[in-house]
Chains A and B, each alone.
Chain A
């Protein structure tokens, strides 16, 4: 790293009520390293061609397949609800669409409200693995689901909560073990946020808003281990928002609330941290011989014009350059929640607050 010392500023952008510290909404990182190089880039603008009656909402994820098709997982409208501890949470329905590389709409997975897969409740992310399987991450159903290219379900991880538990029990079925954030190992999640794989097919899931751990499963979905708990020490997390694994099997976790990327070996042993890129919300590692790590310092809810830049790094954290800023026009970003970097110079960014996907070409 070039800069010896990095200063951080907590930016309190809004005056929301107490208890709103989740989601990086109020705390946003501002990277203040020596100004990295600005990477020039273009956007394809509004390139997705949607059917008349399909409208994107908050776009949680966008991921390409080997042949360049694009899957988009987003939060749409329609009636839906999740029962919380003290009130009923009303959510729109999560929807998964496929487009070809020109942006032409191809299909929807589960193309009517009643046909949508059971896990589609509140979209958090979609990723495509090296075998072209499609994995969705859903925060409200607390599930990660693997589909093959035909849309068939191959694997489910986690369990969507039932509304009520056993007679006489105050609990509900499908919960994660232990108090939130305590790091109890196990299969069930509490608002998982992403998924990644190593070369052997092991599955890594940051879990999440409710918990603060990374769970590792083998390729068949058998739980191996998990590490982490709520905190700011090495190996602890404050919202592990995103995850990526490099070709050597090293695991990179966006520790958004602690404004750092933590790097672990394949068994979860802490190795290093990257601390000059703001509050990372979305990570992507490009494939190929020379791999790059992208990380978005996405704007918080309270300020659609704060931060928003995306960093391009070498795997050791050296910043190659940065591009973009928060805002509502094209070439600006509204809370990037996921980045696809299959081609390191053609990025797809999923924007929560601008309800769109931008296709970016880096120069």
Chain B
């Protein structure tokens, strides 16, 4: 029994270590996206502080410039997600759909897991059960060929599963046993090693199949690979200048191959051309926790979530939580959503799927759920 006991201690330590190691992750529950002091540890009674009581309030710096954009009407599909008994979603981190409308969710449960649901929200199967790549969830995306790509911040890897659910390509490498040359640098490396990530956050592709990786929490770069995983180039460093990022948390690519990087902690979307030359910055839609560009064909739209941070600060919640619908040039068409726990509200959105322009699937961190929203068309679509 001594062996058993030691094993139990070991596992317990592992669990606490997991918590420690990833305490800065968004899903870990302690990271705020913004500079205001006290954001992580609001003083007692903070919720009662009157607006403006602190020189404009803690929320002031997080108030998006486009907060007065028109409201988009919507309905939420009640109880969309249907789980079988004894299957539990954890924090809803990543969301994506394939060409058949099946829904894939990457969740931080006791283990990081990936679930597939059908188009009606019925549970179908688990993808990559007990995989070596399941360390700490950060996202899931489905490419144009219905391959399923999982972004694992803990494994420092992006795993491409084929539509059958088998891993067929791995980008990055999980830090394994000590002394395998992969001690994680805790500081940004600039330029970062081409093939080694440090807490990557998202992945996207252009029409040619080139792969764009957002890397991420520690490094601050977008790396471009060809469809075979061979490194082409990269851009970015930590900061708030053109072409820089402060917590590169999301990425999306439009039909022309332009690349949109979500710089969460300084509330910017930074746009590059396909060769990663800087083009422009959108700084009027809050902190881009999650980005999604509608696939088309035809006119494309950009959704970004200025998610209410999971920092338990009611003043910040008053000005955040909305999702913006935009033109690709940054023009805001409208917004929807408020923080809250009821169905149809948002509890720190971490994933958006927009394969169908006005049918969004959304995952949230705090409430362990996947919600489906039906948006009313915006005025700018009138001519379509």
Contact = CB atoms under 8 A, between A and B. Distances in A.
Interface of A: 14-17, 19-26, 46, 50, 52-58, 74-84, 87-92, 118, 122, 139-140, 162-164, 191, 209-210, 300-305, 327-329, 334, 353-355
Given A89-B177, A91-B177, A301-B180, A83 B10 contact: yes
A227 B133 CA distance: 38
Contacts of A81: 10-11, 13-14, 17
Given A327-B228, A354-B170, A77 B195 contact: no
Given A14-B196, A77-B130, A329-B228, A21 B181 contact: yes
The bracket for how many chain B residues form the interface is 35 or more
B159 to A, nearest CB: 8
Contacts of A328: 169-170, 228-229
12 contacts: A50-B166, A52-B165, A55-B128, A77-B130, A77-B133, A164-B6, A303-B195, A305-B230, A328-B170, A328-B229, A354-B169, A355-B132
B177 A82 contact: yes
A56 B167 contact: yes
A304 B173 CA distance: 10
A353 B126 CA distance: 23
Contacts of A80: 10-11, 14
Contacts of A76: 130-132
Given A20-B181, A162-B6, A79 B193 contact: no
B144 interface: no
B134 interface: yes
A84 B195 contact: no
B196 A16 contact: yes
A17 B183 contact: yes
B18 interface: yes
Given A55-B167, A304-B229, A328-B169, 18 more contacts: A14-B193, A14-B195, A16-B181, A19-B183, A20-B183, A56-B132, A77-B111, A77-B132, A78-B111, A78-B130, A81-B17, A82-B10, A82-B177, A83-B10, A122-B177, A191-B179, A302-B195, A327-B229
Contact of A23 (B14, B165, B181, B230): B181
B9 interface: yes
A171 to B, nearest CB: 15
Given A20-B182, A162-B6, A327-B228, A304 B176 contact: no
Nearest to B16: A88
A328 B173 CA distance: 13
B256 interface: no
B120 interface: no
Contacts of B128: 55
Contacts of B134: 77
A86 B132 CA distance: 24
Say whether chain A's binding surface is mostly helix, strand, loop, or mixed.
Answer: loop
A209 B177 CA distance: 11
Interface string B162-178: 00011111100110111
Contacts, number: 154
Nearest to A160: B3
Contacts of B229: 304, 327-328
A22 B180 CA distance: 6
B330 to A, nearest CB: 35
Contact of A139 (B6, B125, B126, B177): B177
Given A14-B194, A23-B180, A55-B130, A355 B11 contact: no
A58 B132 contact: yes
Interface string B147-159: 0000000000000
Nearest to A328: B229
B185 interface: yes
Say whether chain B's binding surface is mostly helix, strand, loop, or mixed.
Answer: loop
B356 interface: no
Contacts of A210: 179
B296 interface: no
Given A58-B132, A76-B130, A301-B196, A83 B181 contact: no
Contacts of A75: 132, 176
B282 to A, nearest CB: 32
B132 A163 contact: no
Q: Name the residue in A23, A57, A305 with the highest tally of chain B Cβ atoms < 10 Å from its Cβ.
A: A57
Contacts of A20: 181-183
Given A302-B195, A355-B132, A25 B181 contact: yes
A354 B47 CA distance: 50
Contacts of A83: 10, 13
A24 to B, nearest CB: 8
Contacts of B126: 53
A81 B170 CA distance: 23
Contacts of B230: 305, 327
B129 interface: yes
A302 B193 contact: yes
A24 B182 CA distance: 11
A55 B177 contact: no
A240 B173 CA distance: 23
A355 B185 contact: no
B191 interface: yes
B228 A46 contact: no
A118 B3 contact: yes
A88 B17 contact: yes
A304 B177 contact: no
Contacts of A46: 166, 168
A163 B177 contact: no
Task: Name the 7 nearest CB pairs between A and B, nearest first.
Answer: A57-B132, A25-B181, A81-B14, A14-B193, A88-B17, A23-B181, A20-B181
B179 A209 contact: yes
B167 A58 contact: no
Contacts of B11: 79-81
A118 B182 CA distance: 25
Q: Name the residue in B111, B182, B230 with the highest tally of chain A Cβ atoms < 10 Å from its Cβ.
A: B182
B83 interface: no
A305 B15 CA distance: 35
B189 interface: yes
Nearest to A24: B181
A79 B110 CA distance: 10
Interface string B316-342: 000000000000000000000000000
Contacts of A305: 230-231
A57 B177 CA distance: 14
B132 A90 contact: no
B13 A58 contact: no
A311 B94 CA distance: 43
Contact of B185 (A16, A26, A50): A16
A169 to B, nearest CB: 16
Contacts of B131: 55, 57, 76-77
